[in-house]
A and B are shown apart, each in its own frame.
Chain A
Amino acid sequence: MPKKLTYTVLSLGLAAWLLPFLWMALGSFKNQGEILRRPPTWWPEQPTGENYGQWFGPLHFSTFFTNSLIVAVLTVLGNLVFCSMVGYALAKMEFPGKKLLFGLVMVTLMVPGVVTFVPLFVMVSKLGLLNSYAALILPFITAPLGVFLMRQFILGIPDALLEAARIDGAGELRIFARIVMPLCGPPLATLGILTFLTSWNNFLWPLVAAQSEDRYTLPVALSLYSTGQNATNYGLLLAGSVLVIVPILLLFVALQRYFIQGVATTGLK
């Protein structure tokens, strides 16, 4: 196919592909009457901020946003620190139980969330942690994928570099903090972004673990409003969707190189 034709087809395809986002954004500025009008209007005839007004007013968007952000940021920090520590030990140290630990990490790499959430729920409620930030964060503060990713990268750091530091009298913690970590920029960026993405979009566990509005994350809040008495208030729901999607899309556009690298290196979403 000639190049020009290919690009024309691709452009049309991309426009169609991104149409749901445009339709969502336009719909979020329409009032209830206009949003249900047939045939539909394209541009809002009387653009209104009332749908957003609801989220920023009585619906406590700022609470949900803050919850999502607190959970995501702490989850990312935990993963960066803990996964790289294990990754370092697994890549560069010899110790009894190493094979078993790595084996367990590999085996649990693919365990779907739906398998663990029932006992997790029983455990967390027994511990009295339901509806706490701890319940939302702790189960995800490390992940087998992160350990695997960090180990693979640290394996490639030359031993001679670490030996030289050891001869100079540096302890393992110092070597880890001063030599290994500064070299781990690329995998830490990948891991941080993947973890933030997963946490921001996580749904099943927050749905059962967060039980009152003050602990809802954004997707939980949106899903509960979209099924209750607001089920047909599309303007409100579309505005909510915009508020969930826009922050992550902005982050994606800013850091798209790392997002795409993340898929390419781990093969996972």
Chain B
Amino acid sequence: MTVGARLRRKQALIAWGFCLPFVLVFGVFMLVPLLGSFGMSFTDFTARDIRSPFSVNFIGLQQYTDLFADARFRQSLLVTGLFVVIGIPLTMVVALALALALNSGSGRIVSLFRVGFYAPVVTSIVAVSVVWRYILQPEGLANQALSLIGIQGPDWLNDSTWALPSLILMAVWRNVGTLMIIFLAGLQAVPTDVHEAAMMDGAGGFRRLISVTLPLLRPTLLLGAVLISVGYLQFFEEAFVMTKGGPLDATLSVAYYTYQQFGFGEYGMASAASYVLFLVIALVSLVQFRVLRSQD
């Protein structure tokens, strides 16, 4: 061995030494379960098989065909889809409005608003779900407020029409802070001279928003939408604490369906469901990397 080769080998050993703890944990607790889940989705693995793994049979795509034949799984896809399709634009509009309002100001008061609107982001979903369940009772604070303007509010969480919108509203409340921060960063990058030029040409505030700010902000808006979609696609805790997926499966998300199948001991089925969700999220992430790259 030449001196150079020996040196390189020593360097490689040192480098892998630095990586060793991570590689071990990452391998055992991430890669193995990730592949395991994929493998399990092609078997009839159930809770009973934990004790006798040799009784597990390879059944090909059976779990996946069963999955799509199950009306409840299709319902969970629909629920998750609605949550994402309605939740994201709502979150974005509110976050953008806040970011625009805050961007025009400066100083301590702005940072106070920023901290305040961001506060729900750091809280436990389980804990805020408890609070919102209390607020959304038939005689709760929400309906008391509505009755002031003469509206008789529904029993939000026990009404199959209103349960999902209730969870979406709560998600908007909890997540706006994240997007607000990202949009604020984007707005600060919009050059002021473009605005001044537009003002010279006689464009009013609203006109400048539509024709100058929003087009320049488009990459940031797209980034925000993709970032938040990964979280929204996995929504689970809200449904777990507030509605148990009901009423009539109106808030049964894919993640909740997976958890239920796991609870029934149907591990193969749960794995298949989680992989369908994973595929969707992977597609969204792919878009995200594209967006990120195009920004560099």
A residues at B contact (CB < 8 Å): 1, 3, 6-7, 9-10, 13-14, 17-18, 20-21, 23-24, 27, 36, 38-40, 81-83, 85-86, 88-90, 93-98, 101, 104-105, 108-123, 125-126, 138-139, 141-142, 144, 147, 172, 176, 197, 200-201, 203-204, 208, 218-219, 222-223, 226-227, 234, 237-238, 240-241, 244-245, 248-249, 252-253, 256, 259-260, 263-264, 267-269
Inter-chain contact B181/A114, CB cutoff 8 Å: no
B 129-145 contacts with A by CB, 8 A? 130-135, 139-141, 144
A212: shortest Cβ distance to chain B, in Å? 18
- Is B40 in contact with chain A by the CB < 8 A criterion? yes
**Which listed residue, A88, A112, A142, A260, touches B281 by the CB 8 Å rule?**
A112
Residue interface bits B31-46, CB-to-A below 8 A is 1, else 0? 1111011001000010
Please tell me which stretch of B59-67, B100-108, B192-200, B211-219 contacts chain A, meaning at least 4 of its Cβ atoms lie within 8 angstroms of it: B100-108
List, in ascending order, chain A residues with CB within 8 A of B119's CB: 18, 21, 249, 252
Q: Are A82 and B241 in contact (CB under 8 A)?
A: no
In the complex, which of the residues B12, B237, B259, B270 contacts A96, with contact meaning CB atoms closer than 8 Å?
B12
Interface membership of B162, Cβ < 8 A: no
The answer to whether B122 has its CB under 8 Å from any CB of chain A is yes
Assess whether A119 is in contact with B32, with CB atoms less than 8 Å apart: yes
Measured between C-beta atoms, what is the minimum distance from A149 to chain B in Å? 13
Q: Which residues in A have their C-beta under 8 angstroms from that of B23?
A: 86, 101
Q: Mark B91-131, 1 if CB is under 8 A from A, else 0.
A: 00000001001101100010001111111111111111011
Task: Identify which of B12, B126, B234 gathers the most chain A CB atoms within 10 Å of its CB.
Answer: B126
- Within the complex, the shortest CB–CB distance from B253 to chain A, in Å, comes to 10
Q: What residues of chain B lie closer than 8 Å to A245, measured between beta carbons? A: 123-124, 127-128
Bound-state CA distance A255–B166 (Å) is 31
Q: Which of B26, B40, B133 lies in contact with A119, CB distance below 8 A?
A: B40
- From A86, A89, A249, contact of B122 by CB (8 A): A249
Partner among A85, A123, A240 whose Cβ is within 8 Å of the Cβ of B22: A85
Taking CB atoms, residues of chain A closer than 8 Å to B131 are 20-21, 23-24, 238, 241
| B24: min CB distance to chain A, Å | 9
Q: Is the CB of B22 within 8 A of A86?
A: yes
A208 contact set on B, CB distance < 8 A: 262
5 pairs of A and B residues whose beta carbons are closest in the complex: A119-B36, A95-B15, A116-B33, A241-B127, A89-B18
A119: which B residues are within 8 A, CB to CB? Answer: 32-34, 36-37, 40, 271
Decide if B50 is an interface residue (CB 8 Å cutoff).
yes
Is there an interface contact between A101 and B33, defined as CB atoms closer than 8 Å? no
- Among B23, B33, B117, B223, find the residue whose CB has the most chain A CB atoms closer than 10 A: B33
Picked from B40, B114, B270, B274, the residue with its CB within 8 Å of the CB of A260 is B114
The complex places the Cα of A142 from the Cα of B22 at a distance, in Å, of: 6
Cβ distance A156 to chain B, nearest Cβ, rounded Å: 15
What's the dominant secondary structure at chain B's contact region?
helix
- B54 within 8 Å of A (CB atoms): no
Identify 27 residue pairs between A and B in the complex whose beta-carbon atoms are under 8 Å apart, listed by A's number.
A10-B102, A17-B117, A18-B119, A21-B131, A23-B134, A23-B135, A86-B23, A110-B288, A111-B30, A112-B230, A112-B233, A113-B234, A114-B234, A114-B255, A115-B277, A118-B274, A119-B37, A122-B36, A141-B25, A144-B30, A204-B237, A218-B124, A227-B241, A241-B130, A245-B127, A249-B119, A252-B115
Given known A-B contacts A7-B105, A40-B144, A142-B22, A269 and B277 have beta carbons under 8 A apart: no
B182 in the interface (beta carbon within 8 A): yes
Kindly count the residue-residue contacts between A and B in the assembled complex, taking CB atoms under 8 Å apart.
261
CB A187 to nearest CB in B, in angstroms, measures: 16
Q: Beyond the given A27-B134, A115-B37, A123-B28, could you list 20 further A-B residue pairs with CB under 8 A, ordered by the A residue number? A: A10-B101, A17-B120, A18-B119, A38-B144, A86-B23, A88-B18, A110-B285, A112-B278, A115-B275, A118-B40, A118-B271, A197-B122, A203-B124, A204-B255, A219-B124, A219-B127, A223-B240, A226-B133, A238-B134, A245-B124
Q: Does B146 contact A (CB under 8 A)?
A: no
The CA of A253 and the CA of B34, in the complex, are separated in Å by 37
Closest Cβ of chain A to B93, distance in Å, is 13
Please tell me if the beta carbons of A40 and B21 are within 8 angstroms of each other in the complex. no
Q: Which residues of A contact B98 (CB under 8 A)?
A: 10, 13
Checking B124, B134, B244 against A234 with a beta-carbon cut-off of 8 angstroms, the contacting residue is: B134
| Interface presence of B78 (CB below 8 A) | no
Q: Which of B124, B223, B259 has the most A CB atoms < 10 Å from its CB?
A: B124
Shortest beta-carbon distance from A108 to chain B in Å: 6
**Please, which residue of chain B has its CB at the minimum distance from the CB of A218?**
B124
- Residues of chain A lying within 8 A (CB to CB) of residue B36: 119, 122-123
B28 CB, min distance to chain A CBs, angstroms: 8
Q: A176 — nearest CB in chain B belongs to which residue?
A: B18
When A114-B255, A118-B270 are in contact, do A14 and B117 touch as well, CB less than 8 Å? Answer: yes
Answer whether residue B222 sits at the interface, using C-beta atoms and an 8 A cutoff.
Answer: no
Instruction: List residues of chain A with CB within 8 A of the CB of B29.
Output: 116, 120, 138-139
Provide the B160-196 mask, 1 if CB < 8 A to any CB of A, else 0. Answer: 0000000000000101001001100100000000000
